[in-house]
Every structure is written in structure tokens, then in C-alpha cells.
Structure 1
Amino acid sequence: MEYPSSFLVNNIVTVVMHRFRSLRCLHQFKNLPAKNRSTLDRHVPITKTRRIPVADNVITPQIPSDSETREFNIRIGRLGRHGRVEEARNLFNEMPRRDAVSYATMITTYLKNNNLEKAESLFYAMSGSNIVAESAMISGYIHAGRLRDARKVFDEMRERNVYSWTSMVSGYFRSSNADEARRLFDQMPVKNDVSWTTVIVGYARNGLIDQAREVFDAMPEKNVIAWTAIIKSYIECDHLNEAEKLFKKMPQKNLYTWNIMIAGLMQDARRVDEATHLFNSVPQKNEVSWTTMVTGLARNGMTERARDYFDQMPNKDIAAYNAMITRYIDQGLVMEAKELFNSMPERNLVTWNAMLDGLGRSGPTGEALELLNTMLYLGFVPNETTLTSALTSCRGLPEVMQVHAMVIPRGFDQDVSLTNALIAKYSHSGDLQSARVAFEDLKARDVVSWTSMILAYSNHGCGLHALQAFARMLRAGENPDRITFVGILSACSHAGLVRKGRMLFDSMKIAYGLEPTAEHYSCLVDILGRAGKVDEAIKVVSQMPWSQRDEAVLGALLGGCRLHGDGDDRVVNYIGESLIEMEPSMAGSYVLLGNVYAASGKWDELARVRKKMKERNVKKVPGFSQIEVKCENSVFYAGDQAHPDMEEIYRMLRERLVPVMCHRG
């Protein structure tokens, strides 16, 4: 188990302060003049050299801490534990005299409240040596990833305790320097259980499970914490059998060990029954035990069994509710998820995000945004996941803009995943300009960002813009993936760029080591077919892997034949019949083949295709369009006279669409 820095800091302060008090003497630190005490809150310039230590030959007077100072220290610590940092600092500034504990307590308060900068400032304003503050700063630096600064403090300590040694060992493991961590561990004059456990967990987290086991075996006395640490390490390294062997050998188990073993077995769907048997053997189950079972069964797709254990829980916690709601949503059972959601006595952000995700994917239009508004009204603060789920539910441009309006003031506009979703949603909603603005405002782009923008340009018929974005992507050092090539090849097809499209298709394998899929072949066939190069398209299809010849590829080839009336009759017949057999219930394949026959005047063949449609009871789905009326998406069909907003729809078409069509000829 990995001990967080806060754990180490708390133990350092508790144990070392106890040591100081038991000796009833403390190092006397030089106090700043009273007139300068108020300036301590300012950032003291920190040099890269250690503050000047007290010379070894100078004896610092050791005097007992008076009761007034002790009372101040206790009050500062209490304020710090409750997160009232500024009040703690004000009290620190008011102290008539400060001792080692005063500085250590204030520095620890800053660190526990994630204010390393002020802790560092106060630490370097301090004179003399303070083992508690030094140990706390080492842990704080390590937690912030500043291992070099931690090592500098460690090296300059006049006296080191087991906690400072252990913090440094943990820091080197966290930075994947297992050799230096082990070297320090071997140098430790005194080791405790936390030290041994830190090394076991450190090795395991670095994938060195054999070394972790070696250290465990070398422990002079193995307590329940060490046993639990090595068992958990084996589980995290997917060595379930070894974990189970150790679990059975363990002389004394605590509830935490039982729970992690159950959770470990639940990671393997084949061992769910073993996990269930183990759960039934637990002497005294707690909420974590029950939640582990519910979560494990739900993640393994055993919804009914998970619900059965959930219903048996004496005290249901939020994690169990969340596991069941997530499972229902994954199955598309939104009503069951809503029922459970509404019955919850309390919810957390994970609950809201799970429910928003479910409604976004499968719920009625607008319900996810209603839930989001309710969440905001109740005082919950959304995160990036919340708004991404809300975006999924958006059916029209106003809804996308509403979510976008929540993104910017919360500072999420630089979140890559969320912005990528915004680009895609704006594009799907027909607002290419807003998609472009969101993309250009994003400072750190990944391959999905570039691909989303390329697809947006391609889907809107802006082939040249897509190619320009692709060129910028390469200059930025980002390698395209398979989806990027689908977008850029589609752009070449829309722009009629045959030579460029062929070159990009060939570069997939040659330059980027990507094997073309059916989607890429269908794009290439479409490029050639639209350009009238049907013979070349047929050649591509004949030479491509048989496994990749799906309905999209054959449909693109047949579309090229229809567009230009080219192709051998036998080839057309073969393609058309193959396409129909691939999708016997899809009307589009019959219609496409029928159109090819009609374009070439083959009326008997057209009649045969229509007869086959009738025999198989395949009906053509009428084409439909969507338009935004009164802030809602309205779907209507060609010649539709029954839509309740029919007059408004046709008015908007006349006012907006007809002028554009006339302008474009």
C-alpha cells in the first residue's frame, strides 16, 4: 500500500513532537524582531542554497516550551486541521515567542492544505535546524514531484529520523529510480514497518514484484500491514495465484485484507464464484465488503446477482449505488438507473456524471440538460466529465452553445477531451465556424483534436481546408492515426483530388505503418469512382484483402458505376448481388443497384431487383431532414403535410435555404 505524503507528514509531526516533549527541551530558534513579524506572510526570496545552518560548535540553548507557546501551537494545529490556514498564520504572527514546534506546525499546516510555496517560504526564513519541519518539507517536495529539492534538504539535515529516510526512499520509487531507493533503504540506521512496506510497494509499483517479495521475505517481523502490502502488490501485478497463496498463509487477517483479496478475484471473470465464496467466509463484513461484491459483479456484467447483493446490503453507500447505476446505464436500462438514482439518500459527482452519461446516450431529448440544471441548482460543481456527458446529449446547436457557455467560465476550455467533443458537436450541428474557433483556442492539441477538425472540414465539403489542417498537424509533430486518414481521404474525395488521395492512401503503410481498413479502401474507391476511374476502382477492389471487402467498399464501387455508367455488366451484376446478400434487409443496397440499372436503361434488371425487394419485404425508408424550430430539432420528410410545425418549417426553408440554393446555382 502506498502511503500518501499527508500520512507521512502526520506521522512525522506526531511522533517527533512527542519525542521533543518527552525530552522537555526544544531548540531555541532566533525570532525575527517584532516589527518584522507581519512581513512573514510575504514571499521570502528563496535561494537555491540551504539556509545558513547553526555551526556544529555553537551550542543552542535548550529551554522548555512555556505553556503559552504550547497553547498557541495547539490552536494553530487545530485551525490547520480544519483548513483555516489564514487564521492559523495570523495566530502564528501574533505569537510573542515561537519555538521549533511553532514553525513545524505552521509549515505542516501549509503542506496539508496544498500550499507548498508558503511552506517553502517560511521554511527558508527559519534559522537553525528543525527535524520536524525538515522531514515535513521532504515529504511535501516529494508529493509535488520535486525530488531534487527534497534530496537537498535531506542531505543538509544535521539529524535524520526514520521518517525522513522513508520519505526519500518513497520519492525515489515514485520517480522510478528503484536502485537509488534501495541504496538509501540499505543505509537506513533504523527501519520500521512503514519503511519495509514502502519498499515492498515501491518495487511492485515499478513492476519489480520479485524484488518486492525478496524484501518481504527478509523482514524480521511481518505484521498484518506487510502481509497486506505484498498481497495487494501481487494483485496489482496480475499474479492472483501468488496473492491467494500468501492470503491462505497469512497468520492473522484484517478486514482490509479480506476485501482486497475479494476485489482481486473479481478482476478475473472466471473467478467470480471464488470471490463470492470468500465473501461468504468473511467473519464480519463492513460496507466496503458489500460494495466490493456489488461493484465486482456489476463490472463482470452480472446485473441480477449484483442487484441481489445490493438489496441485501445493511447500509448502502454511494459507491454501491454508483456501481449499480453505471451497470444499468451500460446495459441501456435507463429507467432502472433513474429509479435507483431517485431513491438515493445522497449523491456525489460520480453519481451525477453516470446519470448524465446514461441520459446523454439513451435518454429522451433534453432530459440530460434538465438533470444538469438540477445538479447546478443543488450546488454541485461540474467537472470536465460532467460537461462532456452533457455534450453527448445535445441534439441541436442551442444546446451545444448552452454547454459551451458553462465550459469557458470554469476554465475547462483548455481541457483537450472536452474541447474535442465540442469540435465534433459543433460540426455535427452544422456550425463549422464555432468548431474552428474552439479548435484554434485550444493550446495543447492531440491527435483527436486534429482529427476532429479534419473530419469537420471534410464533412462540410471543405476538402482544401482539411488538407491544410492535415499539413499543420504534421508540422506540429503529431502523427495521424487510422481515423485521421478516413477524414483526409474523405476530404480528397469531396474535393476531387485523385492523385493526392492515392498518395495519402499509399503513405498510410509506407510512412506510418498503418494497415488500411475497409473504411480506407471505400474512401479510395469513392475517390476513383467519383473521378470516373471505375476501372481503377475495380482493380483496387480486386487486389484488396478479401476480408476487407464489406458493403461500404462495394457500395462505393457500385456508386461509381451508377455515376458514370461505366463498368462491365457482369461486374456490376456481381457487385450488386454481393452487396444485396451482405445486407439483405437494407433497402439502400437494392435502391443503389436499381439506380445503376435504370441509368443504363436495363429495365428488366430493375424490375428483377424491385421484385426481390418485395419478396423479402424490404421497404425503402423515406428520406428526411432536420431543422431547428423554436429551439428544438424537428424531423420532417419530403412532401410532409402532417408535421405540427409544417408551416413554420416551410417558411424557414423558403427564407433561408432557397436563397442559398439560388446563389449556388
Structure 2
Amino acid sequence: MSPTMEGKTTTYLANLLQVCIDNKAILAGKLLHAKILRSGLSVDTFLSNRLVEFYSKCSHIGAARRVFNKMPQKNIYSWHAMLDCYCKASKLEDAHELFVEMPERNTVTWNTLISALVRSEFEQKALDVYYAMNQEGFVPSRFTLASVLSACGALVNVECGRECHGVAIKIGLDKNMYVGNALLGMYAKCRCIGDAIRAFEDLLEPNEVSFTAMMGALAETDQVEGAFRMFRLMHGTGICVDSVSLSSVLGVCARGGTREFGVTNQTDGFSCNLHGQQIHGLTVKLGFERDLHLCNSLLDMYAKNGDMVSAEMIFANLPEASVVSWNVMIGGYGQKYQTEKAIEYMQRMQYYGFEPDEITYINMLAACVRSGNIETGRQIFDRMACPSSSSWNAVLSGYSQSGNHIEAIKLFREMQFRSFQPDRTTLAIILSSCAGLGLLECGKQVHAASLKVVFHADIYVASGLIGMYSKCNKTEMAKCVFDGMPELDVVCWNSMIVGLSLNSLDKEAFTLFNQMLGKGMFPTQFSYATVLSCCSKLSSLSQGRQVHALIAKDGFINDVFVGSALIDMYCKCGDVDGAKLFFDMMPCKNSVTWNEMIHGYAQNGRGDEAVCLYEEMIGSGEKPDGVTFVAVLTACSHSGLVDTGIRMFNSMQLEHGVEPLLDHYTCIIDSLGRAGRFNEAEALIDKMPCKDDPILWEVLLSSCRVHGNVSLARRAAEELFRLDPQNSAPYVLLANIYSSSGRWDEARAVREMMIDKQVFKDRGYSWVENKNGMQAFVVDDNLKVVDDEFEKENDATSYFNG
């Protein structure tokens, strides 16, 4: 065959191979391969490269490698074709081996390997290859930077991303659309919203990818209105709005509806539902109402905003339902605590021939957990052939949240027996159950399991460990975990502060809060609520006021939970008027806020004002709960408003549907006892559902002493000797009653009983706050200071004043 003829044949065969590549025509391609072999053209490097590309496109990796191995002369395109073949098939070890063997490399070689590593989620390895590329002197292209920036975003490695940004500026690629969008995406994933906005503004002509990334970034940081403004800008500038961008903005609507911001959540949900309806109208106007992916996005938006009526309408008019559609409906009803509807949809799904997937089961489990129907959730879980970690965690969380910690621990053990590896969520849930039961040994075993799976340094798990050890009264071990963490977030700091406060180490908790501020950590609502509780227990009004100032400075003054904690602090420190002043200024109140203020009046003997505030609460439409009635009944008791208290007690169940509990009965018994109405008190005790409570009898015994009712005092004391034999109070009170009545022999007998049973009276303490801080005094034969160093040089004071 002449060279000219051979050249024409080669070109002809190459063109035919290209057609096979484009159509993935494996049989025709193999026939062409046979023709090439018979014609003796297999030595042609160009044709062999096409054959490698053809087999790669048809996913015949072995055949591609055999062609590559038999090539007598390989050029850089041959190596690239084989490298690309391995990368597209995600055979990264083979790709790396081939990469090492390559006689020469160029920027395309490096890009191929880096992008393959990023696609396969080996982002750190991709960065390592990128650094090696730089060391060998290769200048990155726009494709290199785009892949590397994607890796930085996935790893939340903003420092590396900034370095790449600098490289892009240096080589003049920062204005490139491809690189610019990658920069925007990287900053968005790293939550550097200011940098993301600047990257967006630097784009010469932002496209739909730019706007979509910017919308996602704003929504991710809960700037939902900003995300909508971005969409309006996109629409207004004439950029094509396709089904993808509409799905993205619907995702913003869905995200806004599921945020949890206390009392503002309902408003946000309504606003996002309204925006979603507008996008729905635009979807119909642009003719996308038959797009299944977009319809599922609409379903998801309505479901997450709690508008299941609209979701039902969308679902009923779907061109075709998918498993995703059914899952969204199940998840939506689960979010609304309607387990029966969720189960109904799952049954209908199966009836129409759709097989439930992992998401279906997780949504069903979540529905059962939210509604407290753990038994049904467990039945669904037990039917799963191979539950995932998320499914295990959903059931474990249900047991833990409902207080059934024993079942949670049993299920965790079953998980281990079935060789399922716990993740960070599993460990945190089971640590919470160990803490709830005070099971120190079990908690230690979970700690050991976390060491085994290398989760001990995880912030989420560490917070659980700190909580578990604290609730088991092992603050030293909790502090050991805390101090051993390489990096701490605000949740860990909060857990340690709460742990100290739980163990009555409020001074130490306050000091740790000060250290947290010194480290530059920003306190959360939970941080402030906890440290205010410490101020309450320390009766330290000055420190509480300083924390109040810091709360105002940090913008948490309108938070309803922080506000409730502030009211509690002022009331317990005796400044009820200060508490009421703040209460009246609060823009939003919940039942906790009202309860704290009513209880504050009760604690400070201002019963009439407590009753007035209770009536104001009812008038405002706020529903009272059991705690409300404890507060107002206590106020009535302390202020002698016996008949008012009885009237409110009788109204609990009849008017408000609140079942009276032991605490409510105790308040009424205390009120009747203080007023000397012992016949009514005894009659009520005889009708009570539960009488074996020491506090009830101690309250009655105290009233008997005031009114000199010896016979009832003896009955109350005998009940207390039975229920709480080591408590010194009933012995002392009964002895004093006998002494006051001149019954010295009986008083002596009670004191001898104390000695025989080795019961000792606790000494009383008083606290006095002065310019040096809080000082504690003990009442003994002589008045003496027991802790004159308390808060003398409190770091917090210097921090606040500094």
C-alpha cells in the first residue's frame, strides 16, 4: 500500500472510530479494531490512540490497556488517553501508577489527575498533587484552579483558597468566568460571605452559575431575603432563568421555612412560602410545570414550609411521581407530627409499585420520633434489611429524646453486636443517654469506643463526653476531656460551663465563662442563659448586671430565652422591680418568661402582684402550664391569699386542662397550713393521689410548729422519719414544738433519737455582697467568715470593667 493510500485509509478508519466513540458503538468499534489489525495498521500511533479513547468511552478499561501496552511508539497523547481512561473509571490507583511512569508531563496531565481526585472526593490528595505541580514549575490553568478551588471549598480550607486566589491574580486568571465562579463557590462553602460577595462583584459578566452560587451562599448563612434579592437581580438583568436556577431558588424558600429561630420561625416560614408561591407562578409562566425535578423542588418547598395543602395539590398533578416525590410528602407530614398521614403515604407508595429507599425509611423514622411514636418507628426500623447509620441514629435519638435511655443503650449494644460502626452522632446520642441515667461505667465504655474509632477529638463527641462526666459528678474527668481538645468550639465551652454549674461550682463556671471571652469566643444564647443561672445561684447582682450589659452589647437582648434568664437572675437576687422593668420592655414573651416573672414575685413575697400578672398572662392569650400554677400558688401561699390559691387550684383542670401534680398539692397544703386551716389540709392530703413525698410533710410540719398543732406535727414527723430518716429537719422541728409546749421529756426523747440514729443538723449559711465580691458566713457559736476569698479578685470584673 502506497504511503498516500495508507494515509487515506488511516484517516478513514480514524473518522469511523470517532463515529463509534460518539455513539458508544462497541460492536462496530471492535470490527474496526479487527480491520486495523488485519491491515497491519496497529503500529500507527494515531489510530491506537483513537482505539484507547474508544474503549475508554465504552468502559472497556482492560481492552484500552491492552491496546496501550502493545503500542510500539507512545506519544504524550497516548499517555493522556490512558490516564484519562483510568480517571473516568475512577481507578485512581492505576491512574497514579501510570502518572508516575509517564516520561513527560504537561499541564493537561496534572489537570486530569487533579480533577479526577476532586470528583472522587479525594480533595486533600488533589491539593497534594497541586502542590507537587507547583514545585515542578508548571503554571496552573483555569481548569487547574477551578478544580483546586473546588477541593478547598469541600475541605473548608479557606487559607489554601486564598493562596489560589493570589495565584489567579498573579497569572491574570482572576477575571476568568470559570475561575471567578470557582472562587465564589469556594468562599461560599467556607462561609466567608463578604469574600464571596466581592468575588461576585469582580465578575465582569456573572452568569446563571454565579447567581445560583451566590443565592446558595446567602441562604446557607440564613440571609434568605438577600438570596431572593439576588434572584430578582438575576431575573432583572435578563439572564436566562432555567429549571435549574428555579430549583435553586425554591431550595432557598425551603431552607427558610425550616430554620429554627424560636418565636420568629413562623414568620420566616410564612414569608418563604409567599416567595415560593411567586416562584411557582413564574414556573408556570415559563412553561416548566411538567419538569419532574422542578415539581419535586416545589413539593419540597411547600412541605418544608408546612403548607401540606399546596403540597397535596402539586403531588396530585405531577406528570409522574418518583420515589423522591413520595419521600418529600412523607417527610413533610413527619415535620408536622402527622405520623398517620406519613404512614398512609408510605403504604400508597408501595401500593403503586414504588420500593421505599433509605430516605423513605429515614423520613418515616423522623416522623415517628418527632411525634413521640417510638414504637411504630422501631417497627419500621426492624423491617429494614440493612439500616444505615442515619437510621440507627434516628431510632437512638427517639429513645433518648423521649427519656427511654435504657432502650437507647440496649439498641446501641445491638448495633455493636451487628458490627455497625458508630459515627459521631451515634456516640453523642448514647453519651446523652448515659448522662440521663448517670451510668458512669457505660459512659466510660462509650468513651473507649470513641477512642477506638478515632472520634475522641471530635468536637461533637467531646461535648457529649463533657456532659456525661459532669452529670455523673466527675467534673475532673470532664475538665480533662475539655483541656485535652486540640480545638474548642462554643458548644464545648458551654458544655463545660454547664457541667461546673450542675455540680454547684458556679464560681468556677463564671471564671471559665470569662476565659471563654478572653479566647475571643462569641457566647451564644445558651452561654448567657447558663452564666445568668450561675449569677442567680451565687446571688451576685453586680455580676448579673455586668452580664446584662454584655448581652445588650452582643445583640441578644431581645432573645426570649436570654430574657427569661435575666428576669430569673434579677428576681433571685432580690431586684424584682428591675426584673419587671426588663419584662415590660421585652418585645416577645413565651410561657417561660411569664412563669419566671410570676415566680419572681412569689419568691419575694409580692403575692398580689403575682396574681395580677397571672391574670394579665391569661388575658394576653398565653396558655398557662404546670409551672405557671406552681409559681402563682406559691405566691398565694407566701402572701396569705389562701382562698385565691384554692380558686386557682380548682381552675387548673376545669378551665385550663392542666392536671394537678404533687407540687401543686404541696403549695395548697402549705397555704392552708400557714393559715392554720389544718382540717382542710388533712382532708386534702387524704384525697391526694401520692402522699410519699418528704417535702409535703416537711411543709406541713413547719406550719404545725407555727400554730402549735402537736398531734398533726407528730403524724407529719413520723411520715418524715419513715421517708427520709437522715434528714435533721423533722427531728429539730418536732423537738422545738415539744419544747414550746413545755413537753420537755418528749423533746428530750426526739433529741436522743437523733443521737441514736446519728442524724446531725446542718449549719446555716448567709451570703453578703460587698465591694470585694461575695462573702459567706456560717452561724455558729460565734459569727465567722468561712469563705472570705470568694470572688475577691474575680477576673470577670476586670474583664467587664476593662
Q: TM-score, normalised by structure 1?
A: 0.74
State the distance in 1 between where 2:495 and 2:201 align: 43
Tell me the alpha carbon deviations over residues 348-369 of structure 1, each in whole angstroms, 9 at most, x when there is no partner. 2221111111012116342222
State the distance in 2 between where 1:635 and 1:192 align: 72
The Cα shift of 1:306 comes to 0.3
Tell me the alpha carbon deviations over residues 242-291 of structure 1, each in whole angstroms, 9 at most, x when there is no partner. 3343334xxxxxxxx6322443564543333320023x3x5xx6xxx443
Q: Equivalent residue for 1:155? A: 284
Q: Equivalent residue for 1:313? A: 453
Change (3 A) 1:552 1:203: closer
Q: How does 1:262-341 map to 2 (within 5 A)?
A: 262-264=392-394, 266=396, 267=399, 268-269=407-408, 270-278=410-418, 280=419, 289-292=422-425, 294-301=427-434, 302-314=442-454, 316=456, 317-341=458-482
State the distance in 2 between where 1:101 and 1:518 align: 62
Change (3 A) 1:638 1:419: farther
Q: Equivalent residue for 2:365? A: 235
Q: How does 1:297-446 map to 2 (within 5 A)?
A: 297-301=430-434, 302-314=442-454, 316=456, 317-362=458-503, 364-394=505-535, 395=538, 396-446=540-590
State the distance in 1 between where 2:786 and 2:701 align: 39
Change (3 A) 1:446 1:633: farther
Asked if residue 211 in structure 1 is aligned to residue 323 in structure 2, the reply is: no
SS state of the match for residue 766, structure 2?
Answer: strand
Question: Which letter maps to 2:301?
Answer: G
State the distance in 2 between where 1:392 and 1:110 align: 35
Change (3 A) 1:272 1:99: closer
Q: Equivalent residue for 1:122? A: 233
SS state of the match for residue 632, structure 1?
Answer: strand
- 1:356–1:371: 8 Å Cα contact kept in structure 2? yes
Deviates more, 1:481-490 or 1:334-343: 481-490
The Cα shift of 1:315 comes to 5.7
Change (3 A) 1:202 1:548: same
SS state of the match for residue 344, structure 1?
Answer: coil
State the distance in 2 between where 1:390 and 1:585 align: 33
Change (3 A) 1:330 1:526: closer
Question: Which letter maps to 1:477?
Answer: G
In structure 2, stretches of 5+ residues that fail to align are 1-118, 120-172, 188-192, 257-271, 369-373, 400-406, 435-441, 791-802
Question: Which letter maps to 2:427?
Answer: V
Change (3 A) 1:233 1:217: farther
State the distance in 1 between where 2:237 and 2:788 align: 78
State the distance in 1 between where 2:317 and 2:768 align: 74
What percent of counterpart residues are identical?
Answer: 25
Deviates more, 1:200-209 or 1:488-497: 200-209
Identify which of 175, 180, 202 aligns with 1:75: 180
State the distance in 1 between where 2:287 and 2:316 align: 20
The Cα shift of 1:571 comes to 4.1
The Cα shift of 1:112 comes to 5.7
State the distance in 2 between where 1:533 and 1:194 align: 67
State the distance in 2 between where 1:139 and 1:498 align: 57
Question: Which letter maps to 2:541?
Answer: L
Change (3 A) 1:296 1:305: farther
Q: Equivalent residue for 2:11? A: none
State the distance in 1 between where 2:779 and 2:699 align: 26
Question: Which letter maps to 1:149?
Answer: Q
The Cα shift of 1:309 comes to 0.9
SS state of the match for residue 547, structure 1?
Answer: coil
SS state of the match for residue 601, structure 1?
Answer: coil
State the distance in 1 between where 2:682 and 2:319 align: 78
The Cα shift of 1:299 comes to 3.5
- 1:528–1:534: 8 Å Cα contact kept in structure 2? yes
Change (3 A) 1:439 1:334: same
Change (3 A) 1:150 1:292: same
Question: Which letter maps to 2:385?
Answer: F
The Cα shift of 1:645 comes to 7.5
Change (3 A) 1:400 1:219: farther
Q: Equivalent residue for 1:563? A: 706
Question: Which letter maps to 2:249?
Answer: M
Change (3 A) 1:616 1:338: same
Question: Which letter maps to 1:294?
Answer: L
Change (3 A) 1:558 1:243: closer
Q: How does 1:45-56 map to 2 (within 5 A)?
A: none
C-alpha root-mean-square deviation of aligned residues, in Å? 3.5
State the distance in 1 between where 2:175 and 2:282 align: 27
Question: Which letter maps to 1:138?
Answer: L
Change (3 A) 1:597 1:437: same
Change (3 A) 1:454 1:91: same
Q: TM-score, normalised by structure 2?
A: 0.63
- 2:777–2:787: 8 Å Cα contact kept in structure 1? no
Change (3 A) 1:532 1:327: closer
Q: How does 1:539-618 map to 2 (within 5 A)?
A: 539-541=683-685, 543-545=686-688, 547-548=690-691, 550-565=693-708, 567=709, 570-618=711-759
Question: Which letter maps to 1:564?
Answer: H
SS state of the match for residue 587, structure 2?
Answer: coil
State the distance in 1 between where 2:596 and 2:450 align: 41
Identify which of 631, 638, 644 aligns with 2:773: 631
- 2:331–2:364: 8 Å Cα contact kept in structure 1? no
Q: For this pair of structures, how many residues does the alignment match?
A: 557
Change (3 A) 1:387 1:423: same
- 1:457–1:491: 8 Å Cα contact kept in structure 2? yes
State the distance in 2 between where 1:128 and 1:354 align: 49
Q: How does 1:469-508 map to 2 (within 5 A)?
A: 469-508=613-652
In structure 1, stretches of 5+ residues that fail to align are 1-13, 15-67, 249-256, 649-665
SS state of the match for residue 388, structure 2?
Answer: helix
- 2:255–2:304: 8 Å Cα contact kept in structure 1? no
Tell me the alpha carbon deviations over residues 90-148 of structure 1, each in whole angstroms, 9 at most, x when there is no partner. 335x54xx766676666666556632242244145244852144443333334333232
Tell me the alpha carbon deviations over residues 335-384 of structure 1, each in whole angstroms, 9 at most, x when there is no partner. 11111111111122221111111012116342222222222222221111
Q: Equivalent residue for 1:140? A: 252
Asked if residue 516 in structure 1 is aligned to residue 660 in structure 2, the reply is: yes
- 2:175–2:202: 8 Å Cα contact kept in structure 1? no
Deviates more, 1:476-485 or 1:259-268: 259-268
Change (3 A) 1:529 1:217: closer
SS state of the match for residue 626, structure 1?
Answer: strand
SS state of the match for residue 548, structure 1?
Answer: coil
Change (3 A) 1:332 1:101: closer
- 1:73–1:105: 8 Å Cα contact kept in structure 2? no
Q: Equivalent residue for 2:39? A: none
Tell me the alpha carbon deviations over residues 446-501 of structure 1, each in whole angstroms, 9 at most, x when there is no partner. 22212211221121122222222222212212233233223222322332233323
